[in-house]
Structure 1
Amino acid sequence: MDTAPALRRIATISLHTSPLAQPGTGDAGGMNVYIDQTTRRLAARGIEVEVFTRATSAHQEPVTEVAPGVLVRHIVAGPFGGLDKDQLPGELCSFTAGVLRAEARRDPGHYDLLHAHYWLSGQVGYLAKDRWGVPLVFTAHTLAKVKNAALAQGDRPEPRGRLLGEEQVVAEADRLVANTSAEARELVDLYRADPARVDVVPPGVDLDVFRPAPDRRAARAAARSELGLPADDRIVVFAGRVQPLKAPDVLVSALAVLLARHPDEPWRLVVVGGRSGGSTENNWLVDLAEQLGVRDHVDVRPPVPAAQLARVFTAADLVAVPSHNESFGLVALEAQATGTPVVAAAVGGLTTAVAGEISGVLVDGHDPADWATALARVALDPALAARMGEAAARHAARFSWEVTVDGLIDSYTRAVAAVRSDSVRREQAGWFLGGHVDRARTTPGRILQAGR
């Protein structure tokens, strides 16, 4: 599809986390991977992308080119360093001013479209879209009403300010991109989104990095040797931020059950990730392991780049994703792409990311005893694990970032066409500026606003 006439340049808003950040640290996770992978592939197709994110260090360059056609702009808004998400709304005004100031230095019509990720960015996006006269596409990644309905024990509910903010963005966006059909239904049912404006575009996986080995057994042995893991252990891997929402504590508790039920088996839980909010310590999880007497069976490691994470997945007997809620669950897809079966919670997008009873096992609820049963079922049955591993690689191969970008371009094209068509109708009716149209500022479809 020739997209050049309709899409030349896109502004992407990612206020609270940069695509340059290491997933698994602070607030970086699947959204960072999503933005990084899709922007690179959009640029490879001739569509330039500029990503606006909040500067977190005085040493960051104002503009960083991460790939040909992809720029990351660091906007100074508030103090440098990590801020909790509940502190970020206070920086919306200064961040928005920085975004608008950067665009004001450009010629009219510099951007064809805005794509905002997460509700905070959506707040910036729906102000900028009117200023620039371009369509807004919004991807929530997580929804507060869904999260509050499935809170982990000890987790705080999302504040009313976020609930209202999400409702505003959903109402103002020209198109909404949902990761799954389930998320699309949630947008319609919980946020009263117009179904005609919702596009389902599943995320993908980098199949060049996460791929199965021809000889699974040999590859697992080599990966374990490389990573310093015991050759004969029953290894369960958890990868992601160490926070209640992701539920790694369920796996630690399940590990205690496994050791009681199968005392002769060498169980090991490998946790790859850091805590949310900027801390790299995992004390609360380690404390739980000590309380349950399983500390010697828990291996906590820092987050690693994608290529190394693929090696960790290859080393595992299985990967566990026990989250209380996931809009999709990229980790599950990446693990399956290496040929490793996944045991995941039957929530949200995980029911799409994992083919239950084919590429892995979906567990209802978060009872450690149930999780222990599911983990043992796969880990202690080599024939089942092998079948699921082969099916996992086939299942993951259906998802690629190229397919994701195809869907995004379709959504973008519809958004631009609708806004431009509406602009033409309004121009013909003489609605701009009380009957006068400044054509120099409305190309393509840009509205001149007073005080610019």
Structure 2
Amino acid sequence: MSGLRRVALISMHTSPIAQPGTGDAGGMNVYVAETAQRLAARGIEVEIFTRATTSAQEPVFHPSPGVLVRHVPAGPFEGLSKADLPGQLCAFAAGVMREGARSPEGWFDVIHSHYWLSGQVGWLVSDRWRVPLVHTMHTMAKVKNAYLSADDIAEPPGRLIGEEQVVGAADVLVANTEQERQELISLYAADPARVRVVSPGVDLDLFSPGDRATARRNVAVAQEDLLLLFVGRIQPLKAPDVLVRAAARLIGRGDGLSGRIRVAILGGESGTGAGQTERLRQLADDLGIGHRVIFGEPVARDVLAQWFRAADLVIVPSYNESFGLVAIEAAACGTPVVAAAVGGLPDAVGPGGVLVEGHDPHTWADAIGALLADPDARDALGRKAIEHARGFSWERTVDHLVEVYEQAREDQETDS
């Protein structure tokens, strides 16, 4: 039984109750929401601090028993992009500390901040509340800048400096993978003794194998199609154009499979992806496959599971991913993944898919085409994917996070 009573989670730039795939909402939102719910199920109260983005939001919201979301005003509700938020750090930190002042001293046992903006706030609040700060980067500017696509924009120097400060201030840094741990040490001079690897998880009850024919009926995909699925925010980092170009090459081969290939792209524009959906539509039209590509908005999690089951392959061509929740969710549904060999994707894909070096559409077409032509290979990968995903439950993630929180608290008590 854990001795933890309350944990504060800080997620400044995006709310855990936002729809993943829209705006700045993505895997981090899922991470915060899933871990909060499971911490609360263990009797640990969780308060999540996030920036209010509309006047319609209740100041306090209870998404599930034991979990409380506080919408903290910081700047105008609407019209601010993530790039504008460094100017609101002071206002947000003041709002968080104002809420904290309403509670007795020692109310929280630990703070866990997510992304560098939240880490800046967590740094101040940790000092004020005299509780340890645990921080997860989720993405790192130095890594993103090293793997930019040709049409993307580099992260600004202010973010690099801010990340370095958070790395120095945090009592514990939680990395998603061993590779991320090494990047924190080599690129940010993190103390190796303060970096712990805790893999993200997957909801194995929701994302599970199911009948493909039924799933296809539920998402209106023809039974005879060979479906290539992309799920994620529409931005250069995620590289959905690589899938469109690769699909065009496969369709252009004119073999027995080409007439059955369909592409589904589910996601909303984000960050530097403004106008990207229309550009993707135009690209598909220019390549002569516009009628083969489905563009859809982000969907609810239960519907997403149906899409994963309906797909023949899930394609993740990102230029970088700290982990890749889409890959592990697809794997849990028994669908093989073809992913870029970058970041945490090798860990998420494991033996349940194929990794592709680089982003040349010809290379991607060859990798995808080989699997489309070999249903036995796809079935074998699907079975391996299911087994692989079983090692990534959110319960396991929270087991390790609780250990990290307890150790951080014990270390602070020892040092004080």
> TM-score normalised by the shorter chain: which range applies?
over 0.9
Q: Indicate the residue corresponding to 1:309 in structure 2.
A: 304
Q: Indicate the residue corresponding to 1:431 in structure 2.
A: none
- Say yes or no: does 1:340 pair with 2:339: no
Q: Indicate the residue corresponding to 2:138 in structure 1.
A: 141
Q: Indicate the residue corresponding to 2:321 in structure 1.
A: 326
User: Structure 1: which amino acid aligns with 2:236?
Assistant: P
SS in structure 1 of the partner of residue 22 of structure 2: coil
**Given the two structures, how large is their TM-score scaled by the length of structure 2?**
0.97
CA deviation string 1:64-89 (max 9, x = no partner): 00111100000011111252221111
User: Structure 2: which amino acid aligns with 1:290?
Assistant: D
Deviates more, 1:290-299 or 1:237-246: 290-299
Q: Indicate the residue corresponding to 1:400 in structure 2.
A: 393
Matches within 5 A, 1:79-90: 79-81=76-78, 83-90=80-87
SS in structure 1 of the partner of residue 397 of structure 2: helix
Identity across aligned pairs (percent)? Answer: 58
SS in structure 1 of the partner of residue 320 of structure 2: coil
SS in structure 2 of the partner of residue 352 of structure 1: helix
**Given the two structures, how large is their TM-score scaled by the length of structure 1?**
0.90
Q: Indicate the residue corresponding to 1:418 in structure 2.
A: 411
User: Structure 1: which amino acid aligns with 2:145?
Assistant: N
User: Structure 2: which amino acid aligns with 1:34?
Assistant: Y
SS in structure 1 of the partner of residue 82 of structure 2: coil
* Number of residue equivalences: 413
Which of these residues, 64, 68, 80, is aligned with residue 67 of structure 1?
A: 64
User: Structure 1: which amino acid aligns with 2:226?
Assistant: R
1:92–1:306 CA distance, 2 compared to 1 (3 A): same
User: Structure 2: which amino acid aligns with 1:240?
Assistant: G
Deviation at 1:58, TM superposition (A): 0.2
Point out where structure 2 has 5 or more consecutive residues left out of the alignment: none
Partners in 1 of 2:274 and 2:73 — Cα distance? 22
CA deviation string 1:40-64 (max 9, x = no partner): 0000111111000000110100000
Partners in 1 of 2:270 and 2:201 — Cα distance? 24
Whether contact under 8 Å (2:235, 2:274) holds in the other structure is: no
Q: Indicate the residue corresponding to 2:221 in structure 1.
A: 229
Partners in 2 of 1:43 and 1:226 — Cα distance? 33
Whether contact under 8 Å (2:327, 2:337) holds in the other structure is: yes
Q: Indicate the residue corresponding to 2:203 in structure 1.
A: 206
Whether contact under 8 Å (2:234, 2:276) holds in the other structure is: no
Whether contact under 8 Å (1:280, 1:302) holds in the other structure is: no
Q: Indicate the residue corresponding to 2:2 in structure 1.
A: 3
Matches within 5 A, 1:261-272: 261-264=253-256, 265=258, 266-272=260-266
Whether contact under 8 Å (2:11, 2:49) holds in the other structure is: yes
Matches within 5 A, 1:106-125: 106-125=103-122
Partners in 1 of 2:202 and 2:284 — Cα distance? 32
Matches within 5 A, 1:215-294: 219-264=211-256, 265=258, 266-277=260-271, 282-294=277-289
SS in structure 2 of the partner of residue 86 of structure 1: helix
Q: Indicate the residue corresponding to 1:366 in structure 2.
A: 359
User: Structure 1: which amino acid aligns with 2:127?
Assistant: D
Partners in 1 of 2:253 and 2:358 — Cα distance? 20
Q: Indicate the residue corresponding to 1:444 in structure 2.
A: none
Partners in 1 of 2:5 and 2:214 — Cα distance? 46
Partners in 1 of 2:149 and 2:143 — Cα distance? 12
Q: Indicate the residue corresponding to 1:25 in structure 2.
A: 22
SS in structure 2 of the partner of residue 226 of structure 1: helix
Whether contact under 8 Å (2:235, 2:276) holds in the other structure is: no
Q: Based on CA coordinates, which of the two structures has the bigger radius of gyration?
A: 1
Whether contact under 8 Å (1:171, 1:193) holds in the other structure is: yes
Deviation at 1:281, TM superposition (A): 7.5
Partners in 2 of 1:194 and 1:210 — Cα distance? 36
SS in structure 2 of the partner of residue 87 of structure 1: helix
Q: Indicate the residue corresponding to 2:152 in structure 1.
A: 155
Partners in 2 of 1:271 and 1:210 — Cα distance? 19
Deviation at 1:200, TM superposition (A): 0.2
Partners in 2 of 1:105 and 1:176 — Cα distance? 28
CA deviation string 1:87-128 (max 9, x = no partner): 111111111110010001111111111100000000000011
Matches within 5 A, 1:426-437: none
- Say yes or no: does 1:39 pair with 2:36: yes
SS in structure 1 of the partner of residue 83 of structure 2: coil
Q: Indicate the residue corresponding to 1:383 in structure 2.
A: 376
User: Structure 2: which amino acid aligns with 1:87?
Assistant: D
User: Structure 1: which amino acid aligns with 2:360?
Assistant: D
Partners in 2 of 1:326 and 1:283 — Cα distance? 24
Partners in 1 of 2:147 and 2:332 — Cα distance? 28
Partners in 2 of 1:380 and 1:314 — Cα distance? 19
User: Structure 2: which amino acid aligns with 1:316?
Assistant: A
SS in structure 2 of the partner of residue 282 of structure 1: helix
Partners in 2 of 1:272 and 1:134 — Cα distance? 41
SS in structure 2 of the partner of residue 96 of structure 1: helix
Whether contact under 8 Å (1:25, 1:280) holds in the other structure is: no
CA deviation string 1:314-372 (max 9, x = no partner): 000010000000000000000000000000000010011112xx311000000000100
CA deviation string 1:13-47 (max 9, x = no partner): 00000000000000000000000000000001111
Whether contact under 8 Å (1:274, 1:280) holds in the other structure is: no
Give every structure 1 segment of 4 or more consecutive aligned residues whose post-TM-superposition deviation is greater than 4 Å: 277-281
SS in structure 2 of the partner of residue 11 of structure 1: strand
SS in structure 2 of the partner of residue 60 of structure 1: coil
User: Structure 2: which amino acid aligns with 1:56?
Assistant: T
- Say yes or no: does 1:105 pair with 2:98: no
